[in-house]
Amino acid sequence: MFFVDDLLLRSVGLSLPGLDMIWTLEQVHKFALKELYNPEKIKARIKETRLLYEFGEISRAEYERTNSMLINKLKLAEKAEKMDLGSRLDLLG
């Protein structure tokens, strides 16, 4: 619905303050997803978890649970990066 409203209003050259706020929130959401699903940060976290386990800071069960979660998150992040789901096509420029 917002897309249709945005498309119609931009086509006639109108800008509403509420739509600018929606755009800002979309940008914040996009940035948050990039930070949350950054493959390099997830890989660094996997290495950090491995080191914590090797130095005896965490138990084997906790290491396996955390490592499994991070590997799944990494796979999801790599798929999302390939599909580029965060991008939208701006028809009106």
Measure the CA–CA gap between 7 and 3, rounded to whole angstroms: 6
Highest mean pLDDT among 19-23, 25-29, 44-48, 88-92: 44-48
Q: What is the pTM of this model?
A: 0.62
What are the backbone angles phi and psi of residue 12, rounded to the nearest 5°?
-100, 5
- Give per-residue pLDDT as tens, 46-82: 999 999 999 999 999 999 999 999 999 999 988 887 8
14: left (phi over 0), alpha (psi -120 to 50) or beta: beta
What are the domain boundaries of the chain?
29-80
Residues 78 and 57: their CA atoms lie apart, in Å, by 29
Higher-pLDDT residue of 26, 54: 54
For residue 50 the two structure tokens come to: 């491995």
